[in-house]
């Protein structure tokens, strides 16, 4: 990793996520390959079509900010990765929340995506997105992988 680069990082050529210096998340990863030491929470359910879903939240990566990452699997196939950044500017608790700070978080997410991937949003391996949910009061960004 280049010095000063905030982790995790999404690779434009492969869709691989560098979670840390030692652990990479390939689009082909299976839940069993994720080290238990980096897992913060796991949820699972079966949908009405009988598909088994699993959501694995990883411990935040902390450098200049905290970046939270949640991986979603359908029948043990990675379908998406969702990120959320906490910076000092936005605060670290709901007591710090304001709409203006949440819009600043959205801009920060967009800057990260731009730094990692340029202006491109669609790739052979999937697409990236950044969203501000005004009704929910939060901003996230992520990757949706092709099946």
pLDDT in tens, 11-41: 999 999 999 888 999 999 999 999 999 999 9
Which residue, chain included where needed, has tokens 């691989």?
A: 16
**Global pTM?**
0.88
Cβ neighbors of 84 (< 8 A, separation 6 or more) are 67, 68, 138, 139, 140, 141
Distance CA 120, CA 129 (A): 10
Cβ neighbors of 146 (< 8 A, separation 6 or more) are 124, 125, 126
SS3 111: helix
Distance CA 75, CA 51 (A): 6
Q: What does the pLDDT read at residue 91?
A: 59
Q: How confident is the model at residue 2 (pLDDT cuts 50, 70, 90)?
A: very low
Give just the sign of the alpha carbon dihedral 137, 12, 3, 57. positive
pLDDT in tens, 57-114: 999 988 778 889 999 999 999 999 999 888 766 655 667 778 888 899 899 999 999 9
Q: What does the pLDDT read at residue 5?
A: 54
38-42 contact pairs (CB < 8 A, 24+): none
* Cβ-contact 17, 4 below 8 angstroms: no
């Amino acid at each position: 990793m280049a010095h000063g680069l905030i982790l995790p990082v999404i690779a434009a050529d492969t869709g691989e996520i560098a979670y840390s210096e030692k652990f990479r998340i390939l689009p082909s990863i299976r839940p069993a390959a994720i080290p238990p030491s980096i897992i913060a929470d796991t949820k699972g359910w079966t949908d009405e079509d009988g598909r088994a879903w699993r959501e694995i939240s990883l411990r935040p990566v902390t450098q200049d900010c905290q970046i939270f990452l949640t991986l979603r699997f359908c029948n043990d196939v990675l379908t998406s990765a969702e990120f959320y950044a906490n910076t000092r500017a936005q605060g670290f608790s709901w007591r710090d929340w304001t709409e203006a700070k949440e819009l600043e978080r959205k801009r920060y997410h967009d800057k990260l995506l731009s730094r990692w991937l340029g202006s491109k949003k669609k790739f052979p391996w999937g697409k990236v997105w950044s969203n501000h949910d005004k009704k929910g009061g939060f901003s996230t960004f992520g990757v949706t992988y092709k099946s």
